[in-house]
Structure 1
Amino acid sequence: MDALQDLRVLDLSTGVAGPIVGMFLADFGADVVKVEPPSGDPARSSPGFAMWNRGKRGVVVDPASPPELSWLRDQIAGADVVLTNGAPTLDLFSLQADELHAHPALVHVSMPVYLPDYTPWAGGRESAGLLAAFGGQAARQSSESGDPVESVYPTVLYAHGVWATVCTVAALVERERSGVGQEVTVSGVNALQQLTMTFLVIDPDEDDPATAVGAAGRHPTYTRMRAGDGLWLGVGALGPKFEAALLRALELEYILDDPRIGGKLINLVAPQNIEWVQKAVSDAFLTKTRAEWLEIIDRLGVPCGPVDDRDDWLDHPQLAAIGMRAEVDDPERGHVVMPGVPINLSRTPGRVRGPAPRLGEHTGRVEAWPARKRKPAPPRTPIRPGPLSGYRILNTGTFLASPYAGSLLASLGAEVIKVEPPTGDPFRAPAYSANRGMRSLAIDLKSDVGRDTFYRIVAKSDAFMDALRPGLTTEMGIDYDSLQKVNPGIVTMSLAAYGHAGAMRDKGGVDMVVQCMTGMMKAEGGDDEPVANTIAVCDIVTAAMSSLAVCLALYHRERTGEGQATSDSLIGTATYLQSGEIIRFAGRPKSPVGGRNHKGTDPINRIYQAADGWIRLDGTAVPGVRSVLAAALGIPEAALDTDSAATEAISTAVAERNAADVVRLLNSAGVPAVRVRTVGEVIRDPRLANAEFLHVYPGDDGKFITGPGNMAHFSRTHRYGLLLPPGVGEHTADILAAAGFGDDELAALSEQGAVVAGAPMVHALLPAYR
């Protein structure tokens, strides 16, 4: 049985993010019908289309044809899920939101490109560059110049697709219990919140952090370095244990004793220390070859790896070992090699079920979906605080990716318990933002009494998550086979950097090193040195992948009663995050590369400096855009004949004007453009305030802290309210009491050191480490 067997999905979305939702649903067994107008999805010309629309059937519906619109309405009546880009999709096919609401069991997933009722650029089409620029992502990227930087990847769109899939399946999980559907809105702004979460948990009264710290980023031992032979490597020494070990291996012990560090390793990333510490570390790496450093660092147990080429990544044997390389015969492109399915379910695995369809390939051949036989609607429509309200999830993850998965599930209403050792997660303070919304149980799982105590909690839980190296859960007695003996319906989710198979399965890995090995950094840097993404993209999107695995398994369990083991990997996510760039077929255009202060690869789709700031334009979908730009900016059209000349001419014209004036001028001419905003500007946007983009609360140090607001909207099961991180063991007593432990048992467990009951978290922020 497939996880989404018999699920019917109408995919009316276009572009990248919406079709990705349909892709994941198809990968796990849903019948997904892609509906397009006669002109087709504008993204059909993108190489990634072949992946984002794989496994679907394709139908053309002419908005001017009443019989075809009637067929579409009939299909909606029999569908379980309808995917749209929001109002533009409904308008295109002459649909009204009320028509969708008339089907009580339907889950309508609306994915507007910015906000449901507002897009700040002309045309309203999806654009990763515009979204990243207007949302603070571009301005927050570390660089040599400190100016905004353009990524060569549409990362925010890839993140949008995964997160919207999580929310879709969460709504389906809830529907299994209530029998009622709802509208789920996951906007481009929500994607920004999910992806740039660490940028948003800040003191709003502080200035934006300086970004002119170099292409390596802020952290001197969690970065990429050039070795003495000129080759580059990635180093993942994060946290006091690894940081100190690497500095000693580099013979830089004096840094630990320097009064500017003051014995506190967090001061390595204090603004006044970044430059001199980075230089000392960089110089030390030049004393040996890359191979020598990789051997030394690996012996320390610190994650590390070479900076490799993106174009070679799909051929890496580790990808084949974990099933992340897929091959299909495409009706238009021939033989296609693409990333596989990045999450694994033991009972209901996903798989690539076929190529993307030709335009209208199945028109007239898609059978009418009959109306579902459903249980009677409840007398009162259930309203709940989140679609996952009532589910309990145990999360033992540390550092960033796995804890953030717990936080995402908590944002969807689940009760998520952060299970940590009595001393706490060693990275809980730097990863303050990733632990929001969970409760803390401090327990010694390495002791017999602690493990037996934990089993009693597992018996009353729905899912268990870990990010331990493969095999450690078995040694500790907390693997799926052990836990399902306690709770036959348990769902487990295990994250491993390199997956749970293959020669690299036992290696430790972190976001920074995975960016290096999978070619992401080299592609961002182009012919310059490798560029580290300031966002922990592999960690953050893996958190969403892990959440999706849990939701898919819970959906299957609701329908069958069966639990199962699930897993994912950082390299699986990194491969997915390059899906449009590394997919292969004969004749595909070469994927773009960047540079240290990259502004864009095309004069009509890049960042430009104005007299008082920066603007980002995206004219890729504008007919005759060079002529339009010439007229709007007062440039001779002949000056835009070549890319180099066009870039120079547009740069000169924009530099003479204020950013707001340029943006107004271009949008009036139909060329989408926005100002490049800092995070400090973004968090003060009144439209975003009205959309609950941000939560603000007082810290314990007299300052204030901001954090992402709700990252999706559910019409019937919306969760409201602030999410705060817990202190170590803050909820131990309450959690044990809920599991049936009496006061005497709790006291005995505390005396034995098996559990710790602690105080609330001190709400104060450390310096940014990226």
Structure 2
Amino acid sequence: MSVRKQAGGDDTSALADIRVLDLSTGIAAPVASMFLGDFGADVIKVASPEPDVYDSLPGAAVWNRNKRSVVIDPTVEADRDWLVAAIGNADVCILGAADSLAAWGPEVESAAAANIRLIELRMPPYLDGYAPWEGESNGLLAAYGGQAMRQSSVAGGPIETMSPYLLYIHGVWAAACLVAALVERTVSGLGQVVTVTGVQGLIEATVTAMSVDPTLPDPSMKVGPAGRHPTYRQFRCSDGTWISCGALGPKFETGLLKALGLDAILADPRIDGVSARMALTENFEWCLPKLVDAFASRTREESLALLSSIGIPCGPAMSREEWLDHPQIRGIGMRVEIDDPARGRVVMPGSAINLTRTPARFDRHAPSHGEHNGATPWSARPVSEEPAPRFVEGPLAGFRVLNMGTFVASPYAGFLLKELGADVIKVEPLTGDPFRGSGYAYNRGMRSLAIDLKSEAGQGAFHRLVKVSDVVIDGMRPGVMSSLNIDYEKLAEINQNIVTMSLSAYGEGGPLSQAPGVDMVVQAMSGMMTSWGGEDDPVANTIAINDVTAAALSALTCVLALYDRQQTGRGQRTWDSLAAVSVFLQMGDMVKYDGRPELAVGRSDLRGLSPVQSYYETSDGWIYVDSTLVKGGPAAATSMLVFAELINSDTSSGDMDAVRESLAKSLRELTSEEAVAAVSAAGLRAVQARPLSSVLRDPRLLDAEAVHVRTADDKSSFMMTARYAGFSRTQRRGPLSPDGVGQSTVAVLTEAGFDDDEITALLEVGAVRTGGPVQHVLPIAYR
């Protein structure tokens, strides 16, 4: 029996019975524990006597909320005794980039090992046991992991980002893996070690970029700040404003060309009616100018009206400040205010996850260093059930998910849940997911059921599947599930324990709730593009940043609801949105309070936001330099001067911009290897900015199974992302492949209790269809 059931239970918070010791520093791991605190866990941030420098950043007001702070000095016996008592009765222990239990003393390690229910989350900055730098760094990870060289730009070369989004993604995905282990513990009674590395956060974000033919050279990224897709991008209008056009996929691409009077592009033999061919390098160069001219002849209002009239997602490019104050963000609860003794009234992002029965709570401001010293360590809790070890692949083994999502975010969430061990069934139309041609990587691991949910027979069959399932995911606009008679209220009548998770563009509530939306449009509306471009053209992230993050967030939403169900016996309806994700990904910049540092603004081909966090060109490539301290601090500036003097750059003026220019000139005379050595000698961190081809050939990544080499149907090879997390007791193994449309229809129905005659009847009336394997080929990159 669960602790909450035994105690009559707090039924208002999903993690109300969970005790968390957060021993981490930095950003990624505190973001992971933020989600636990938001949903009711008692999170104690254990700090050393020296404060974490990242706690002085504005974003710390968000990622440290709902926590207590206790300072522990490992050299003081009483402090060690407190930590031993706490970790011996904790449910979760979180370790960040440079953290280890050994640093707190052998007795702390022993107490953790003796706690058989403890789940230890480890979040090393690069690989488990290996990092080319000390501590965590978004810039170093992006540079060394190949992401920076894959960003579209004007001149090419590595590009710096405006927010540390790789660290945020690392945090949300690690939280999903951790809560999945908590779900598994409700079955086995045992904890385990969960390891989610910086590389695994990176591959979650860059799944498309890392799906490549390793024999081909790296593609040129000198395609401008909007990327390489001619219809899925931002456009400048005749009044000087910008809009984002979400025309992705054959339906929208073809519709847009016809609406703009550009049918001749489709008829051209180089395209031959296949709109996806416009994104090929040889066609992009002549297709794009025609589209640019078409939008340049229309005002923003005219352009948005035209796109909306044919159902293409679209929106204006806005600022970060406008987005946080937008009625849509307020309407979905993503703008909250908290009184903070140190900062005053703080406006910050709310929770991007919505559990309708056990919602997020914001009970505590971010604590000051040691604010809760003297707190009594947790006492022991009786456990009436004997542990029942399981030998399964993945902590979610035994749970079934019906995934109705199409395109990117929802299917990718299904893949992530399969990576965690769940049996995930892709419930798709008879004609299949319209994005299957480009979505090979997102659909891996899911079995396909092709079904007509608009038919009475199809709905009836789906209802029977729900009886033997645990989670239903959809990617539809609010209200569509109800029109199909498969909304939560109907499904809960069939299976009262069912968990449903709905992902939409703008969420439930607010004026845009019913509007269509996609990643590229939300990037523009949320201020991501304008903050990155500054006074230059808006910059689009080449990564489908809102989609891939929404996938991880959706997986976390599902496992939070599953954990609550395991404890209370009750399912619930949950939802999230791309709009909410766009705020989460800018949490450090979205925080507002009197006296907060001025927001940074980018520019075209941004190399860095400060001299000590920047890319520098060398004689044979690029390096990324990163201070070990908070950027802009006096000690960082001092290190910069020492570094400049070390390589004989002019430091006489003391002007950082002048020093930077002199430094850049000197570094261009060194090889990348020499430059990294010089930076390291000055006490700063640096790595080579590697092209993706170099990253994919790294034997360390291959050994760690960050990528797998796959064989195509034509016997060629291609690479895809591989192992996304490590579990000491419930590790899933082996590569995953997608089903063809309807490939598992008969098997799925049979497992749900349909007999042969019933399946035949469904096939005869066209309620379901069967199909063969998918074609295993590398798809054309769409961005």
**Pairwise same-fold verdict (TM > 0.5):** yes
Q: Name which of 44, 49, 60 aligns with 1:38.
A: 49
* Residue matched to 2:552: 544
Q: CA deviation at 1:424?
A: 0.2
- Counterpart check, 1:25 vs 2:36: yes
Letter in 2 for 1:408: L
* Residue matched to 2:571: 563
* Residue matched to 2:124: 112
Q: Show the 5 A alignment for 1:650-689.
A: 650-689=663-702
* Residue matched to 1:370: 379
- Counterpart check, 1:691 vs 2:718: no
Q: Name which of 379, 400, 404 aligns with 1:396.
A: 404
CA contact (8 A) 2:749 2:759 kept: yes
C-alpha separation in 1, matches of 2:460 and 2:271: 42
- Counterpart check, 1:757 vs 2:770: yes
CA contact (8 A) 2:98 2:135 kept: no
Letter in 1 for 2:615: I
Equivalent position SS for 2:642:
helix
CA contact (8 A) 1:233 1:290 kept: yes
C-alpha separation in 2, matches of 1:151 and 1:86: 21
- Counterpart check, 1:53 vs 2:64: yes
Q: Name which of 356, 359, 362 aligns with 1:352.
A: 362
- Counterpart check, 1:597 vs 2:605: yes
* Residue matched to 1:628: 642
Letter in 1 for 2:362: V
Q: Name which of 185, 203, 206 aligns with 1:196.
A: 206
- Counterpart check, 1:3 vs 2:14: yes
Q: Name which of 98, 101, 121 aligns with 1:90.
A: 101
CA contact (8 A) 2:336 2:348 kept: yes
* Residue matched to 2:439: 431
Q: CA deviation at 1:627?
A: 3.4
Letter in 1 for 2:646: A
* Residue matched to 1:273: 283
C-alpha separation in 2, matches of 1:438 and 1:633: 54
Letter in 1 for 2:376: E
C-alpha separation in 1, matches of 2:225 and 2:97: 37
Q: CA deviation at 1:319?
A: 0.9
CA contact (8 A) 1:493 1:550 kept: yes
* CA-atom RMSD in angstroms: 1.3
C-alpha separation in 2, matches of 1:729 and 1:55: 45
- Counterpart check, 1:101 vs 2:122: no
Q: CA deviation at 1:20?
A: 0.8
Q: Name which of 470, 483, 504 aligns with 1:475.
A: 483
Q: CA deviation at 1:604?
A: 1.1
CA contact (8 A) 2:155 2:222 kept: yes
Query: What do residues 581-600 of structure 1 show as CA deviations (whole Å, max 9, x unaligned)?
Result: 11001111112122221100
- Counterpart check, 1:342 vs 2:352: yes
CA contact (8 A) 2:643 2:678 kept: no
Letter in 2 for 1:370: S
CA contact (8 A) 1:180 1:377 kept: no
* Residue matched to 1:13: 24
CA contact (8 A) 1:213 1:274 kept: no
C-alpha separation in 2, matches of 1:544 and 1:367: 35
- Counterpart check, 1:463 vs 2:476: no
Letter in 2 for 1:372: R
Equivalent position SS for 1:151:
coil
Aligned length: 765
Structure 1: give runs of 5+ residues left out of the alignment.
Answer: none
* Residue matched to 1:738: 751
- Counterpart check, 1:158 vs 2:172: no
CA contact (8 A) 1:174 1:388 kept: yes
CA contact (8 A) 2:32 2:171 kept: yes
Q: CA deviation at 1:208?
A: 1.7
* Residue matched to 1:524: 532
- Counterpart check, 1:725 vs 2:767: no
CA contact (8 A) 2:712 2:776 kept: yes
Letter in 1 for 2:39: F
CA contact (8 A) 2:26 2:96 kept: no
CA contact (8 A) 1:26 1:353 kept: no
Q: CA deviation at 1:347?
A: 1.0
Equivalent position SS for 2:610:
coil
C-alpha separation in 1, matches of 2:480 and 2:367: 43
Query: What do residues 686-708 of structure 1 show as CA deviations (whole Å, max 9, x unaligned)?
Result: 11111111111101122212111
Letter in 1 for 2:119: V
CA contact (8 A) 2:641 2:659 kept: no
Letter in 1 for 2:512: M
Equivalent position SS for 2:209:
helix
Q: CA deviation at 1:769?
A: 0.9
Equivalent position SS for 2:680:
helix
* Residue matched to 1:230: 240
Equivalent position SS for 2:93:
strand
Letter in 2 for 1:694: V
Q: CA deviation at 1:221?
A: 1.1
* Residue matched to 2:615: 607
* Residue matched to 1:387: 395
Q: Show the 5 A alignment for 1:496-507.
A: 496-507=504-515
C-alpha separation in 2, matches of 1:353 and 1:220: 47
Query: What do residues 221-251 of structure 1 show as CA deviations (whole Å, max 9, x unaligned)?
Result: 1110001111000110111111111111111
Q: Which moved more, 1:84-93 or 1:16-25?
A: 84-93
Q: Show the 5 A alignment for 1:159-174.
A: 159-174=169-184
* Residue matched to 1:485: 493
Q: CA deviation at 1:399?
A: 0.4
Q: CA deviation at 1:401?
A: 0.5
Letter in 2 for 1:292: E
Letter in 1 for 2:524: C
C-alpha separation in 2, matches of 1:91 and 1:295: 61
CA contact (8 A) 1:87 1:116 kept: no
Over 3 Å counting, the alpha-carbon distance change for 1:208 and 1:98 in structure 2 is farther
- Counterpart check, 1:578 vs 2:591: no
Q: Which moved more, 1:59-68 or 1:235-244?
A: 59-68
Q: Which moved more, 1:141-150 or 1:81-90?
A: 81-90
Q: Which moved more, 1:442-451 or 1:697-706?
A: 697-706
C-alpha separation in 2, matches of 1:676 and 1:99: 42
Q: CA deviation at 1:376?
A: 4.6
C-alpha separation in 1, matches of 2:202 and 2:14: 29
C-alpha separation in 1, matches of 2:402 and 2:773: 19
Query: What do residues 363-393 of structure 1 show as CA deviations (whole Å, max 9, x unaligned)?
Result: 01x2220112124543x63232000001000
Q: CA deviation at 1:766?
A: 2.3
Letter in 2 for 1:535: I
* Residue matched to 2:7: none
Query: What do residues 324-380 of structure 1 show as CA deviations (whole Å, max 9, x unaligned)?
Result: 11100112111100000111111111122221001111101x2220112124543x6
Q: Show the 5 A alignment for 1:707-718.
A: 707-718=720-731
Q: CA deviation at 1:97?
A: 4.8
Letter in 1 for 2:120: H
Equivalent position SS for 1:767:
coil
Q: CA deviation at 1:668?
A: 3.8
C-alpha separation in 1, matches of 2:124 and 2:379: 29
Q: Name which of 448, 451, 454 aligns with 1:440.
A: 448
Equivalent position SS for 1:601:
strand
Q: Give identity over the alignment, percent.
A: 49
Equivalent position SS for 1:638:
coil
Q: Show the 5 A alignment for 1:635-646.
A: 635-638=649-652, 641-646=654-659
C-alpha separation in 1, matches of 2:504 and 2:51: 39
Letter in 2 for 1:455: H
* Residue matched to 2:150: 140
Query: What do residues 394-430 of structure 1 show as CA deviations (whole Å, max 9, x unaligned)?
Result: 0000000000000000000000000001100000121
C-alpha separation in 2, matches of 1:638 and 1:190: 44
* Residue matched to 1:331: 341
C-alpha separation in 2, matches of 1:745 and 1:377: 42
Over 3 Å counting, the alpha-carbon distance change for 1:258 and 1:432 in structure 2 is same
* Residue matched to 2:3: none
Runs of 4+ that moved beyond 6 A: none
* Residue matched to 2:719: 706
The TM-score, its normalising length taken from structure 1, stands at: 0.98
CA contact (8 A) 1:493 1:567 kept: yes
C-alpha separation in 2, matches of 1:709 and 1:182: 21
* Residue matched to 1:534: 542
Q: Which moved more, 1:143-152 or 1:391-400?
A: 143-152
